[in-house]
Structure 1
Amino acid sequence: MAIPMMIGMIIQTLYFLVDLYFVGNLGGNALAGLSLAGNAMFLIFALTQILNVGTTALISHAAGRKDAKDANAVFNQSMMLASLMALVVIFLGYLGSDTYLTSISTDLATIEAGQRYLHWFLPGMALQFPLVAVSAALRGAGIVKPTMLIQTLSIIVNIILSPILIIGWGTDFPMGIAGAGLASTISVVVAVVMLCVYFVKAEKFVTFKVSLWRVDSAIIKRLLGIGLPAGGEFFLMFAYMGLIYWLIQHFGPEAQAGFGLGSRIMQSLFLPAMAIAFAAPAVAGQNFGAKQFDRVRETFFWSALMTCSLMAMLSVVCFFIPELLVQGFTDDQNVILVAATFLQIICINFIPTGIVFTCSGLFQSLGNTLPSLYSTTLRIILFVLPALLLSQMDGFNLTQLWYLSASTVVVQAVISFMLLRREFRYRLPKSEPIDERLVILK
């Protein structure tokens, strides 16, 4: 399951880099505006994660039990919620985007660039909800290749459209940073259409049934019980990133652009490792539903080993050649310095982040995402209080924030692992020895 997802995420990494390249050539303010507006995606991720995690977990459990009726009920309630949340995002996004941007930046050119990007990308953000609901249903049923192929095609569309719309290749009508937002929206529309066509024609385990879109409070409660804590994690990350942008605004738009560039590259590097962690919930969830508890433990061991191995290799790259990772995206030496320093320091937490990813996936498979929220909350608290204190002291600088952030992830990894061991003790009883004669007789 991880290999197709990894291919899709590598293609997505390429899209991130292409987007950064063309926007970076527009100047530091455009790059900073993209970074500030892009942080709003964490808020969208928080909301989509509610559906993503809840739908995947419940449908994987139903698949393990061979319970198609429950899987269909869960999927259609998820689609109903996705449609409502998409409408809310469109309304609140256009209403509140200006307030959000002005709250974390004082540079007018940066704010204007962020506004142009968001206003064109908001429809794409809203369409993330039905896209995630369908993808989660397929992943819960153990199907990832079609999703990967469709995601790859949509990202290729985005890559092709980016230079055309941003700098006007072949059209002589450059839209600037607004073109980046429009290119992303068009690619999401393409992905939604293709995925829905595939789902209607090919998927049999779960199907669209409008008659099941009536509110079912019991199923919604199950979805939210698993999904809300996971969504809460991404909301905390949205607040965490927003706090950093707020803390460093006094260092100028170059600092915000450098942090945004470094963060985007870091997120891009994480994607292949995240593919393994994202595959784990469906595999472990189906085995949990089928009461194959030893396989749940094995899923954790192998996903942790593979994820952390990839993270170790990425740590070496970021520590020794961070400048090479950022030089192609901007000519501003101040932005390059901030981004390279960020990557060189923050790579300390790459292996612990791999542990956090894996533990989070296993919490999802067990149907209890609260421990993951607890560890993230502790990490944010450990970061926020010292960061606010440091910002009031003489000699406050950016590297202090990066070291503080890296150290809090190490603590989060330890807490997540301890909480997962506790969940395993409570939810995964030791398997009884199997009498092969009884199996043969049966």
Structure 2
Amino acid sequence: MKDLSQGSIPKHLITMATPMMIGMFIQTLYFIVDLYFVGKLGAAALAGLSLAGNAMFLIFALTQILNVSTASLIAHAVGAKQHHEANDIFNQSMMLSSVIGVVVCILGYLSAETYLSNISQDPETIAMGLTYLHWFIPCMALQFVMVSISAALRGTGIVKPTMIIQTLSILLNIVLSPILIEGFGTGYAMGIAGAGLASSLSVIFAVILLCYYFKVAEKYIYIDFSLWRIDLPRIKKLLVIGLPAGGEFFLMFIYMGSIYWLIQPFGADAQAGFGLGSRIMQSLFLPAMAIAFAAPAIAGQNFGAKNYARVKETFTWTAIMTCSFMTLITLACLAQPELMLQGFTDNNNVLLTSTVFLQIICFNFIPSGLAFTCSGMFQALGNTVPALISTAVRLTTFIIPAIWLSQQAQFTIEQLWYVSVATVCIQAAVSLYLLKREFKKRLSTQPQENLDTLPTKEVMKSPPL
């Protein structure tokens, strides 16, 4: 356990964000490696991989329920020095993650074909996506256990072991991908099915290592099967915080699915180009997202310890750092987007769609950084409903004009990217307004005795929102 209620906040952010960024980058590499090898199989295979990969947003929505709530509640318990509460929350989270993982695995196999048929008109793309999903679904199901353990460690201020294990996992994936996809060294090429199998085997390896580490090394919280019984008050706590956060990602799943649906008439090349461009964009977001994801543990522990000035200071530093990174990658996308896409495909139509996408969509990077920051602070405060509201506003303001534009004679894909930029700016503004209101409601009545325990300089230097 690491006490984040003391010491330099910028240092805490960097210390926690660095291994988290590496871990997130490694997790993203699962898809990047698949994109690289599957891209050689043709546009239909790349489009099928992209459509199937979008299903991960639905998995992210479900895992986010446990990810956000587990980290937030354990951080609060650690800050308040409530060791038993932290351990009880962790075991409830592990119980729920195990059950949900089994259910997701079953439903995934039953509904995969229906999902793909609704967002693509190309039979070859649907077939490719279905083949990939059949081998990739175990990877999605195992995400729940891995997320619960990682979130619990993050809530206690520990992130390095997760990064190391994910690094080993992606190295295994990189080794397996050419062997399974192209038949390198074996002569048996599985094609796109090999990409799904490589990812699933790598995640199985990661889960085994993570469970082993947790068993032999972690002492502050631990698995206790006697606590794996239905504890309604704690489950309610997890769901109250987690469901809105999961809803936020579910809306993103709808948003991405809507784009794939809207660009169906432009063919597999357009869907593949959007899928490639969006994956590259998500990879570029990683430094900013890592900082934003580190903030809830820091602000959460300080909120639990009633160090309210440090909660606001965490927001300020997080916003500065995320927006700085977003500014740099905006300039990079405006200058040389082609360099980021080289090697993934030789299809000129796919490359053109991806290039134009990055050049336009990069204008929403800075407001996205602000939205990430606000979302992290809502998690720290234990109220994720405002983040859900701001995401719902974004989806609504995108879907309505996007559908109208798609029915016009002069409809182009680029129009969707411009609408997306505008709606992210709206989302950032709504998030900032809701966070200011949340701060006023939750942090405006700091106890005087708590103020007396803080260094004078630290209280004075914490800027108001």
Give the alignment's TM-score, normalised by structure 1. Answer: 0.97
Counterpart among 411, 434, 439 of residue 452 in structure 2: 434
CA distance 1:435–1:143, shift in 2 (3 Å): closer
Which stretch shifts more, 423-432 or 213-222? 423-432
2:105 matched to which residue of 1?
A: 90
Any residues of structure 2 matched to 1:111-126 within 5 Å, and which?
111-126=126-141
2:286 matched to which residue of 1?
A: 271
Any residues of structure 2 matched to 1:53-68 within 5 Å, and which?
53-68=68-83
The amino acid of 1:200's aligned partner reads K
Secondary structure at the aligned position of 1:129 is classed as helix
Deviations 1:169-198 (A, max 9, x none): 111111111111011101110110011011
Deviations 1:344-365 (A, max 9, x none): 0000000000101111001000
Q: How many residues are matched?
A: 437
CA distance 1:436–1:374, shift in 2 (3 Å): closer
Secondary structure at the aligned position of 1:225 is classed as helix
Structure 2, unpaired ranges of 5+? 1-15, 456-465
1:295 matched to which residue of 2?
A: 310
- 1:293, 1:430 within 8 Å by CA — same for their partners in 2? no
Residue 201 (structure 2) pairs with residue 186 (structure 1): yes
Deviations 1:3-48 (A, max 9, x none): 1112223334444332211111111000000000000000000000
Separation in 2 of the partners of 1:177 and 1:319?
32
Counterpart among 6, 10, 34 of residue 19 in structure 1: 34
Separation in 1 of the partners of 2:129 and 2:110?
14
Deviations 1:185-233 (A, max 9, x none): 0111011001101111111111111111110111010000000000001
2:146 matched to which residue of 1?
A: 131
1:225 matched to which residue of 2?
A: 240
1:310 matched to which residue of 2?
A: 325
Residue 60 (structure 2) pairs with residue 45 (structure 1): yes
CA distance 1:435–1:65, shift in 2 (3 Å): closer
Separation in 1 of the partners of 2:195 and 2:377?
35
Which stretch shifts more, 413-422 or 3-12? 3-12
- 1:266, 1:343 within 8 Å by CA — same for their partners in 2? yes
1:440 matched to which residue of 2?
A: none
1:388 matched to which residue of 2?
A: 403
2:179 matched to which residue of 1?
A: 164
2:334 matched to which residue of 1?
A: 319
Q: Provide the alpha-carbon RMSD of the alignment.
A: 1.3
Residue 45 (structure 2) pairs with residue 30 (structure 1): yes
- 1:300, 1:362 within 8 Å by CA — same for their partners in 2? yes
Secondary structure at the aligned position of 1:434 is classed as helix
1:6 matched to which residue of 2?
A: 21
Separation in 2 of the partners of 1:304 and 1:430?
24
Structure 1, unpaired ranges of 5+? 438-442
Give the alignment's TM-score, normalised by structure 2. Answer: 0.92
2:117 matched to which residue of 1?
A: 102
Identity %: 65
Secondary structure at the aligned position of 1:291 is classed as coil
Separation in 2 of the partners of 1:352 and 1:176?
39
1:345 matched to which residue of 2?
A: 360
Separation in 1 of the partners of 2:269 and 2:149?
39
Counterpart among 258, 272, 293 of residue 257 in structure 1: 272
Tell me by how many angstroms 1:271 deviates.
Answer: 1.3
Counterpart among 219, 231, 235 of residue 250 in structure 2: 235
1:145 matched to which residue of 2?
A: 160
The amino acid of 2:431's aligned partner reads S
Residue 389 (structure 2) pairs with residue 374 (structure 1): yes
Secondary structure at the aligned position of 2:188 is classed as coil
- 2:30, 2:199 within 8 Å by CA — same for their partners in 1? no
- The runs of at least 4 consecutive aligned structure 1 residues that moved more than 3 Å come to 10-16, 430-433
- 1:16, 1:268 within 8 Å by CA — same for their partners in 2? no
- 1:280, 1:362 within 8 Å by CA — same for their partners in 2? yes
Separation in 1 of the partners of 2:223 and 2:197?
29
- 2:180, 2:198 within 8 Å by CA — same for their partners in 1? yes
Separation in 2 of the partners of 1:8 and 1:94?
28
- 1:13, 1:269 within 8 Å by CA — same for their partners in 2? no
Separation in 1 of the partners of 2:283 and 2:429?
24
Tell me by how many angstroms 1:436 deviates.
Answer: 9.1
The amino acid of 1:309's aligned partner reads S
2:10 matched to which residue of 1?
A: none
Residue 464 (structure 2) pairs with residue 414 (structure 1): no
Secondary structure at the aligned position of 2:409 is classed as coil
Secondary structure at the aligned position of 1:142 is classed as coil
Which stretch shifts more, 421-430 or 259-268? 421-430
Separation in 1 of the partners of 2:118 and 2:23?
35
Tell me by how many angstroms 1:435 deviates.
Answer: 7.6
